[in-house]
C-alpha cells in the first residue's frame, strides 16, 4: 500500500522531509496494515542528516546575504585580464575532460532568494563600463555592452570571460538560460560563441565568495540581449583588443543546418533551434532550416513557434511533395500540441493526400480521434494505466475541464479557488490536466543532476523538482503568449495577490520571433516562488502493493506544475481526490457537491491536525476543515497521544507483536484519544480496527471461527472512515437495505457526508469479501466485493477495466480472483 499512500500524500511541492514526516506518521507498509515503511529507521537517519546539513547551509547563505547588505555597494576591485582568461580556459578544459570521461556531475545551487532582473527595454538604458560599476549593486538605468572573450564553461551557471570596449574584463555567470543545464561544451559554444557581442540590461556585479573577484551575475536570461554586428548600438564603439574567434562557428546556412541537426540528434533541442536560426540569419531562403526548426520547436513544446515556422514553409513555392508533406505534418503536430485536434485532423488528411504511403500521419489521425473523445471526459483509463507503467514514456491524452470555474475566495491565500458550476456527484471527473513542466526520475540527465536548496521552504528540493523548476524559464520564454497564465499563479505571501480571474486571456500579440530574443522579462525569484507554491509531486496510481513492496524513493520524487489544478485550495478532508497516471493529473469529486460549492483537495495527509499543520507549513497556518476542527476539539494533548500510538504501529504486521491482547489494547488506547462528542469519523480508530481484523485473518487460517470477528472489525474500520454499513450481518438471509432499484445489493450506504482515507475503504471492503468467500458465503462475498468496486468508482474511477488491472495481484493474494470475475457492480 506504500505507493498508494504516497500517491495520496504527495503534496504540493512538499519536500522530502515533509514526505518523510507524512510517511512516518501515516504510511503503510503492507497490504493489510496501517504500518509505515519498513525501512523507516534508515530513512529517518538520512533525513535527519540532510535536514541538519540544509539548515547549516541556509544559515551560511543568509549570513552572506546580510553581510552583503551591510557592506553595500563599493568600487570593484581590478581584474587581471590574462589571469581571468587563463582561469576560465582551464575551467573549460576541465568541463571537456569530465564530459569525455563521463563523470557524474552533481552540483548544488540556491533558489527562491531575492534576485535582481530588468524590466527596462534596452533602448531606454544608458551604457556603462566596468570602471564605473560597483560591486554588490544592480546598475539601474544602465546596460553593459560586452564581448565574449573565452569559450563558455559551466558549473550550474554558464561562465564566460567578458570584456567591455575598453578591454576591462570580468567573469559572467548566467543562470537559468534555456538549454544550458548540465550542457556539454559544444552546446554552450553554439549558444555563446566567442566574439559574440551582448548587452546586459541593468547588470548586477557580485563579489566571489571564495576568490573575492568581482563577476557579473545574470539570473534572468531576458536580461541578455544579443547584438548583431549591424546594430546601431555599436555605432562609434571601438574595441581595445582584436576580436577573438577561437570557437569555430559555421559560416554558411548549410553549416548551421548540419550543426543544428547534430544537436537535434543528441536531444539538445534549444541549441538546435539557435543553430537553425543562425543559419536563417545567414540565408533566409534556406527554408529547410525553418522546417527543421519547426521539428525542434515541437520537441521543446514551443507549439505556436512550430506552427508559425511550418506554415511559413508551406507557403514557399515549388516545394517537393516530401517537403510539403513534412510541413503539413509539422503543422498538424503543432496544432495537436495546442489542443486543436480538429484542425490537426484536417492537416493530417491534407498530408496523406500528398503522400498516402506515410505511416506516421495515419497514426496521428487516430490519436486525434481519441483526443476528441477525451475532451468530452471519455478516457480509456486502463490503457492510460498501462501507458503510465511503461518505463521512459509519458502518457499522451487530451485535457478535460469538468463543471468547475475559478472564483474569488478572499479568505484563501492568493484570493481564488475553484467552485462547481452545477451539482456534482461523488466520483465525477472534475479535471484531467497535463503538466506545464514536469520531471520524472528516469528523465533526469544521465550526466548528473543539480540539487537546489530552496530558501522559501528552507528544504532541499528533489533533483526532479530542481529540474522542472528550471524548465519553467525555457517554457515561458518559448510560449510568451502563455506567460500570464503562469505568472498569474499564486507566488506566495511576499507577492501582491494575483488577479481574481483565471486563466487570463492568451496574449495573442506575443509571439516567439527569435529563440534568443525574450518577449517576457523573466523574474527568476517570482518563477521559483510560483513553482514552489504550486508544484505537485506526481505519484503513480498504483494500489495495494504486496507487503514487501519497495517503498518509493522519497529522495527522488517526480515533480510537476499544472495550471488549473494549481487554483484548487487545500482541505485535509477535501471534496476531491487527486492522482496521477504518470504525468497526467486526474481530479475527481469524492462527495456529492452542490452547485457553487468549493472544490478542495488534501495537499497532505497525517494522523491529526498537528502533523498536517506542520506539513502544510508554507501554505497555511491552520486548516479550517471539519476534520481539523474535530481534532482541535479533541485537544493537542490527545492528538499527540494518538500520533504517538500510531507511530508504534509503523512496522509491517509480520515483523511485530500481532497478539490480540496487544491490538485490543492499541484499539482501546486509540479510542481513548477521541473525545466522547467526536462523532463517528475517527480515522485512527479505523486503522486500529483494521489491525485487529488483520490479526483475526491470520488466526482464521487455522481456526475459521475468527473470520466473523475479522469481518466485524473491518466493518467498524469502514464506519470510522465515514461510510455507513447497512448490512452488518455475518450469517443468515441477506438484508436488502442497500439494494439499488433493480440493481445489485450493496451492504453500504452510497450517500455519506464525508469519507476519509478512501483507498483504505476499497481495500477493507475487499478483505471483508475475502473473509465471506472463505466462509463459503458467496452472496455476501459478492455484495462486499461490489462495495469495494463502488468505493473505488468514486475515489479512483476509471471503470472495471482499470480496477481489474490495478487489483489483479491483490485479488489473487486475498483469494477472490474468481469471485471477482463473476461479479459486477
Ligand X SMILES: C[S@@+](CC[C@H](N)C(=O)[O-])C[C@H]1O[C@@H](n2cnc3c(N)ncnc32)[C@H](O)[C@@H]1O
- The C-alpha cell at 428 is 465525477
570 in contact with ligand X (CB under 6 A): yes
* 268 touching ligand X, by CB under 6 A: no
Listed in sequence order, the residues at least 6 apart from 46 whose beta carbon sits closer than 8 Å to its beta carbon are 555
Which one of 224, 530, 571, 746 is in contact with ligand X (CB under 6 A)? 571
**Residue, CB closest to ligand X:** 413
Question: 353-369 burial, b if ≥16 CB within 10 A, otherwise e?
Answer: ebeeebeebeebbebbe
- Quote the least distance from Cβ 12 to ligand X, whole Å: 6
Question: Which 3 state secondary structure label does DSSP give 721?
Answer: coil
For residue 480, the minimal CB distance to ligand X (Å) is 22
533 binds ligand X (CB under 6 A): yes
Q: Decide whether 300 or 456 has the Cβ nearer to ligand X.
A: 456
Question: From the CB of 490, what's the least distance to ligand X, in Å?
Answer: 4
Q: Which residues are CB-neighbours of 749 under 8 A, at least 6 positions away?
A: 723, 724, 726, 738
Phi, psi dihedrals of residue 584, rounded to the nearest 5° = -90, 125
Question: Is 417 among the residues that bind ligand X (CB under 6 A)?
Answer: yes
CB of 523 to ligand X, least distance (A): 17
Residues facing residue 460 across a β-bridge: 453
Question: In this complex, which beta carbon is closest to ligand X, that of residue 295 or of residue 623?
Answer: 623
Distance of closest approach, residue 562 Cβ to ligand X, in angstroms? 10
Judging by DSSP bridges, how do beta strands 400-401 and 404-408 pair with one another?
A: unpaired
Alpha-carbon distances of 675 from 71, 356, 465, 691, rounded to whole Å: 57, 73, 41, 22
Among 258, 292, 288, 250, CA closest to 273 = 292
Least distance in angstroms from the C-beta of 334 to ligand X: 30
Strand, coil or helix: what is 588?
strand
When asked if residue 601 is in the footprint of ligand X (CB under 6 A), the reply is no
Compose the 449-488 pattern: x for residues touching ligand X by CB under 6 A, - for all others.
Answer: ----------------------------------------
State the binding string over 495-514 for ligand X (x if CB under 6 A, else -): ---x----------------
Cα separation, 665 vs 512, in Å, equals 67
Judging by beta carbons within 10 Å of its beta carbon (0-12, 13-18, 19+), is residue 539 exposed, middle or buried?
A: buried
620 binds ligand X (CB under 6 A): yes
Closer to ligand X at the Cβ: 523 or 598? 598
Asked if 569 is part of the footprint of ligand X (rule: CB under 6 A), the reply reads: yes
Identify each DSSP E strand in 58-155 by its residue range: 74-75, 105-111, 126-128, 134-135, 137-138, 142-148, 153-154
Q: How far is the CB of 407 from ligand X (least distance, A)?
A: 10
Q: Smallest distance from the beta carbon of 684 to ligand X, in angstroms?
A: 22
Q: Are 755 and 722 in contact (CB under 8 A)?
A: yes
Q: Determine the interface stretch with ligand X among 98-106, 181-189, 408-416, 731-739 (rule: CB under 6 A).
A: 408-416
Taking CB under 6 A as the binding criterion, the range among 109-117, 270-278, 616-624, 710-718 that sits at the site for ligand X is 616-624
**By C-beta, is 410 or 733 nearer to ligand X?**
410
Q: State in angstroms the smallest separation of the CB of 200 from ligand X.
A: 33
d(CA 628, CA 572): 7
Nearer to ligand X, 621 or 676 (CB): 621
Q: In Å, how far are 317, 352, 534, 753, 754 from 598, measured between CA atoms? A: 55, 47, 18, 15, 15
Question: In the complex with ligand X, which residue's Cβ is closer, 165 or 498?
Answer: 498
Query: What minimum distance in Å lies between the beta carbon of 625 and ligand X?
Result: 7
Binding ligand X by CB under 6 A: which of 329, 379, 436, 490?
490
Whether the upstream peptide bond of residue 624 has omega within 30° of 0, thus cis, is no
- In the complex, minimum distance from the CB of residue 28 to ligand X, in angstroms, rounded to a whole number: 25
Find the shortest distance in angstroms from Cβ 615 to ligand X.
13
Q: Choose among 31, 42, 171, 176: nearest CA to 112.
A: 176
* 154, 181, 416, 460: residue in contact with ligand X (rule CB under 6 A): 416
The answer to whether residue 615 forms part of the interface with ligand X (CB under 6 A) is: no
Stretch in the footprint of ligand X (CB under 6 A) among 201-209, 413-421, 729-737, 802-810: 413-421
- Using the contact rule CB under 6 A, the part of the chain among 447-455, 511-519, 524-532, 562-570 near ligand X is 562-570
Give the interface segment with ligand X, choosing from 159-167, 343-351, 412-420, 628-636 (CB under 6 A). Answer: 412-420
Q: Is 534 in the site for ligand X (CB under 6 A)?
A: yes
Give whichever of 383 and 614 is closer to ligand X, judged by the CB atom: 614
Q: Quick one: 628 or 716, whose CB is closer to ligand X?
A: 628
Q: How crowded is the C-beta side of 648, counted as CA atoms within 13 Å?
A: 15
Count, residues near ligand X per rule CB under 6 A: 19
Q: How many whole angstroms separate alpha carbon 573 and alpha carbon 401?
A: 22
User: Which of 412, 640, 699, 813 touches ligand X (CB under 6 A)?
Assistant: 412
Which stretches does DSSP call E strand in 129-179?
A: 134-135, 137-138, 142-148, 153-154, 158-163, 169-174
Q: Which is nearer to ligand X, 91 or 608 (CB)?
A: 608
Q: Give helix 660-671 / helix 636-647 axis angle, nearest 10°.
A: 160
Q: By CB under 6 A, tell whether 414 contacts ligand X.
A: yes
Q: Which residues pair with 420 in a beta bridge?
A: 404
Residue 476 or 571: the one with the smaller Cβ distance to ligand X is 571
Match 500517491 to its residue by C-alpha cell: 7
Q: Are 816 and 788 in contact (CB under 8 A)?
A: no
- Compute how many other C-beta atoms are within 10 angstroms of the C-beta atom of residue 100: 9
Q: How far is the CB of 228 from ligand X (least distance, A)?
A: 41
Secondary structure (3-state) at 67: helix
Residue 415 in the binding site for ligand X (CB under 6 A): yes
Question: What contacts 714, CB < 8 A, 6 or more positions away?
Answer: 689, 690, 693, 764, 765, 767, 768, 771
Helix (H, G, I), strand (E, B) or coil at 231: coil
Residue 567 binds to ligand X (criterion: CB under 6 A):
yes
* Residue 4 CB, nearest approach to ligand X (Å): 23
Pick the stretch among 406-414, 464-472, 690-698, 769-777 that binds ligand X (CB under 6 A). 406-414
Q: Which residues bind ligand X (CB under 6 A)?
A: 12, 412-417, 490, 498, 533-534, 566-567, 569-571, 619-620, 623
Amino acid at each position: 500500500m506504500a505507493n498508494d499512500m504516497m500517491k495520496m500524500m504527495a503534496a504540493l511541492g512538499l519536500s522530502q522531509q515533509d514526505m518523510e514526516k507524512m510517511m512516518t506518521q501515516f504510511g503503510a507498509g503492507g497490504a493489510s496494515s496501517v504500518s509505515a515503511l519498513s525501512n523507516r529507521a534508515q530513512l529517518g537517519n538520512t533525513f535527519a542528516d540532510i535536514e541538519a546539513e540544509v539548515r547549516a547551509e541556509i544559515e551560511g547563505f543568509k549570513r552572506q546575504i546580510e553581510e552583503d547588505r551591510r557592506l553595500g555597494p563599493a568600487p570593484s576591485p581590478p581584474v587581471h585580464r590574462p589571469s581571468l582568461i587563463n582561469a576560465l580556459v582551464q575551467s573549460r578544459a576541465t568541463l571537456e575532460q569530465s564530459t569525455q570521461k563521463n563523470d557524474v556531475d552533481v552540483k548544488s545551487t540556491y533558489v527562491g532568494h531575492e534576485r535582481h532582473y530588468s524590466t527596462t527595454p534596452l533602448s531606454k538604458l544608458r551604457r556603462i563600463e566596468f570602471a564605473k560599476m560597483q560591486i554588490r549593486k544592480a546598475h539601474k538605468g544602465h546596460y553593459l555592452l560586452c564581448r565574449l572573450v573565452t569559450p563558455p564553461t559551466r558549473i550550474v551557471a554558464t561562465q564566460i570571460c567578458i570584456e567591455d570596449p575598453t578591454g576591462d574584463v570580468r567573469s559572467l555567470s548566467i543562470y537559468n538560460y534555456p538549454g544550458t543545464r548540465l550542457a556539454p561544451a559544444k552546446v554552450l559554444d553554439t549558444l555563446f560563441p566567442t566574439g559574440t557581442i551582448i548587452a546586459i540590461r541593468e547588470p548586477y556585479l557580485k563579489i566571489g565568495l571564495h576568490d573575492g573577484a568581482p563577476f557579473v551575475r545574470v539570473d534572468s536570461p531576458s536580461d541578455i540581449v544579443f547584438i548583431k554586428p549591424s546594430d546601431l548600438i555599436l555605432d562609434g564603439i571601438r574595441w581595445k583588443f582584436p576580436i577573438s574567434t577561437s570557437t569555430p562557428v559555421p559560416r554558411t546556412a548549410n553549416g548551421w543546418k548540419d550543426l543544428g541537426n547534430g544537436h537535434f540528434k543528441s536531444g539538445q533541442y534549444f541549441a538546435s533551434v539557435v543553430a537553425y536560426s543562425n543559419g536563417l540569419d545567414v540565408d533566409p531562403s534556406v527554408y529547410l532550416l525553418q522546417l527543421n526548426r519547426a521539428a525542434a520547436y515541437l520537441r521543446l513544446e514551443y507549439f505556436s513557434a512550430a506552427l508559425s515556422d511550418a506554415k511559413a514553409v508551406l507557403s514557399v513555392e515549388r516545394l517537393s511533395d516530401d517537403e510539403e508533406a513534412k510541413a503539413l505534418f509539422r503543422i498538424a503536430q503543432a496544432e495537436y500540441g495546442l489542443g486543436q485536434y480538429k484542425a490537426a485532423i484536417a492537416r493530417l488528411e491534407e498530408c496523406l493526400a500528398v503522400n498516402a504511403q506515410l505511416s506516421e500521419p495515419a497514426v496521428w489521425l487516430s490519436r486525434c480521434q481519441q483526443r476528441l473523445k477525451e475532451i468530452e471526459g471519455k478516457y480509456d483509463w486502463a490503457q492510460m494505466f498501462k501507458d503510465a507503467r511503461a518505463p521512459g514514456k509519458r502518457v499522451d491524452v487530451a485535457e478535460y475541464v469538468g463543471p468547475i470555474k475559478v472564483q474569488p475566495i478572499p479568505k484563501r491565500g492568493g484570493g481564488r479557488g475553484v467552485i462547481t458550476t452545477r451539482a456534482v456527484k461523488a466520483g465525477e471527473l472534475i479535471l484531467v490536466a497535463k503538466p506545464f513542466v514536469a520531471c520524472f526520475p528516469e528523465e533526469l540527465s544521465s550526466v548528473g543532476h543539480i540539487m537546489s536548496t530552496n530558501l522559501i521552504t528552507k528544504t532541499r528540493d528533489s533533483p526532479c523538482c530542481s529540474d522542472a523548476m528550471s524548465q519553467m524559464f525555457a517554457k515561458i520564454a518559448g510560449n510568451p503568449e502563455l506567460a500570464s497564465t503562469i505568472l498569474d499563479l499564486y507566488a506566495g505571501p511576499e507577492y501582491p495577490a494575483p488577479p481574481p480571474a483565471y486563466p487570463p486571456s492568451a496574449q495573442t500579440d506575443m509571439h516567439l520571433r527569435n529563440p534568443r530574443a525574450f518577449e517576457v522579462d523573466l523574474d527568476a525569484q517570482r518563477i521559483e516562488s510560483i513553482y514552489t507554491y504550486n508544484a505537485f509531486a506526481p505519484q503513480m496510481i498504483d494500489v495495494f502493493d504486496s507487503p514487501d513492496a519497495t517503498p518509493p524513493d522519497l529522495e527522488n520524487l517526480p515533480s510537476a506544475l499544472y495550471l488549473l489544478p494549481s487554483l484548487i485550495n487545500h482541505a485535509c478532508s477535501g471534496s476531491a481526490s487527486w492522482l496521477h497516471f504518470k504525468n497526467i493529473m486526474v481530479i475527481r469529486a469524492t462527495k456529492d457537491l452542490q452547485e457553487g460549492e468549493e472544490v478542495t483537495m488534501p495537499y497532505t495527509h497525517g494522523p491529526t491536525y498537528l502533523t498536517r499543520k506542520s506539513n502544510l507549513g508554507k501554505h497555511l497556518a491552520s486548516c479550517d476543515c471539519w476534520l481539523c476542527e474535530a481534532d482541535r476539539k479533541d485537544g493537542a494533548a490527545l492528538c499527540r497521544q494518538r500520533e504517538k500510538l500510531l507511530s508504534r504501529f509503523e512496522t509491517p504486521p509480520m515483523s511485530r507483536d500481532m497478539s490480540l491482547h496487544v491490538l485490543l489494547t492499541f484499539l482501546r488506547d486509540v479510542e481513548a484519544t477521541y473525545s466522547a462528542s467526536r462523532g463517528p469519523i475517527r480515522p485512527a480508530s479505523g486503522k486500529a480496527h483494521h489491525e485487529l481484523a488483520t490479526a483475526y485473518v491470520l488466526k482464521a487460517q487455522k481456526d475459521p471461527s475468527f473470520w466473523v470477528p475479522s469481518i466485524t472489525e473491518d466493518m467498524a474500520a469502514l464506519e470510522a472512515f465515514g461510510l455507513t454499513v447497512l448490512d452488518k450481518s455475518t450469517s443468515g438471509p441477506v438484508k436488502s437495505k442497500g439494494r439499488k432499484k433493480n440493481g445489485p445489493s450493496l451492504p453500504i450506504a452510497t450517500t455519506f457526508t464525508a469519507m476519509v482515507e478512501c483507498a483504505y475503504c476499497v481495500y477493507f471492503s475487499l478483505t471483508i469479501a475475502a473473509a465471506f468467500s472463505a466462509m463459503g458465503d458467496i452472496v455476501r462475498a459478492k455484495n462486499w466485493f461490489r462495495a469495494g468496486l463502488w468505493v473505488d468508482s468514486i475515489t479512483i474511477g476509471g471503470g472495471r477495466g482499470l480496477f481489474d488491472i490495478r487489483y489483479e495481484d491483490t485479488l489473487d493474494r486475498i483469494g477472490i480472483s474468481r469471485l471477482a470475475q463473476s461479479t459486477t457492480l
